Amino acid sequence: MSEAEQHPPSCCAPGRAEGPGAGDAPGGRGGRLAHGPAPSPGPVLLDTAAGDGEAAAGGRAERSGGGRAADADGSVLLPGGRFLMGTDDTEGFAADGEGPVRPVTLRPFRIDACAVTNERFAAFVADTGHVTEAERFGWSYVFAGFLPTHLRRGAARPEHTPWWCGVPGAWWREPLGPGSGLNDLGGHPVVHVSWADAAAYCRWAGGRLPTEAEWEYAARGGLEQRRYPWGDELTPGGEHRCNIWQGRFPTRNTAEDGYEGTAPADAFAPNGFGLYNMAGNVWEWCADWWTTAHPAGPRANPTGPGRGTSRVMRGGSYLCHHSYCNRYRVAARTSNTPDSTTGNLGFRCVRDA
Ligand SMILES: [Cu+2]
């Protein structure tokens, strides 16, 4: 019945249809809370020092490991060409359609070095008046461990991912629900954005969402058939290279990597293409409809199935842990219905070169 049952369950980002009111509320398929307050758009309070400005750019330049520098618009030109997509790694989830390994050829394209930040999304909203789907539904998913007791208690929780709470009034400007704000999150990835919100931002920015093939090629950073954007070892030399969960999921997050929730979009060293956080931090929407059946032969510029019910998400998030989902590998994939919004799901843009 629910669309979520038609594909492997999302590891740590539940779908809109699993949310509050999915079964019995008058809100229908979207499950809009009848009592969900419509958040009023208040002023965006952003700490610009933590934003995408010169300080962040300077910080980026000091880091090593990136093969390419981003242009003034924050994007990197990638040459495209042939790469091996997918994995047959035994660590992978075959049921997710991670395999088979198949040759894919891509034309050159530009991709944002970082996920779209709250600061950039605020500029988009200020310019267009865009109202996000989370605002229209009146709620979004927030990780239970971040919520004060009064919001956590009694919150609707999806059956299979009960560490999520459907929180009335959670949206991108108040990512932990009413009373929260962006404060020093200006340079962090925007979250609580649906596929359509992400696509609208990309159009405004003169681009589009990456195809899944473009995303994976970019994430691999020029390495062939490695497990992570930097190689095969999760923490080379004991160093954390991405923002995922440490400790015991979902009850104890030791935040050894430095972050309990989102990290700044340019945290950690970039991959060989100069791209940040292609593993961990937030899931990223891709353009493609979801399928687990891939043609094994060579493909050029694949765009996925012509129709579907869920859209591809890639990269994993700060909630991913080996014990549960292990989807922060470059070949890992999952999906969600396009109207779904959570506190660990964002996006980045590409442009045709
Ligand atoms: Cu995960």
pLDDT of amino acid 105: 98
pLDDT of amino acid 195: 98
pLDDT of amino acid 75: 97
Ligand 1 centroid to Cα of residue 316, in Å, is 5
pLDDT of amino acid 70: 87
What is the domain partition of the chain in residue ranges? Answer: 82-115+185-352
CB 311 within 8 A of CB 329: no
pLDDT of amino acid 32: 32
Candidates 3.90.1580.10, 3.40.50.300, 3.40.50.150, 3.40.605.10; correct CATH number of 82-115+185-352? 3.90.1580.10
pLDDT of amino acid 12: 67
pLDDT of amino acid 67: 63
- In order of 4, 75, 122, 234, 246, the CA distances from 10 in angstroms are 8, 29, 28, 22, 20
pLDDT of amino acid 11: 56
**Whole-angstrom distance, CA of residue 273 vs CA of residue 131:** 33
Ligand 1 centroid to Cα of residue 321, in Å, is 7
Ligand 1 centroid to Cα of residue 106, in Å, is 27
Ligand 1 centroid to Cα of residue 144, in Å, is 15
At residue 158, the 3 state secondary structure works out as coil
Mean pLDDT by groups of 10 residues along the chain of 353 residues = 38 79 38 31 35 36 57 94 96 93 98 98 98 97 95 90 94 97 97 98 98 98 98 97 95 95 98 98 98 92 97 96 90 96 97 96
Ligand 1 centroid to Cα of residue 345, in Å, is 11
Provide the CA 107 distance to its chain's centre, in angstroms. Answer: 24
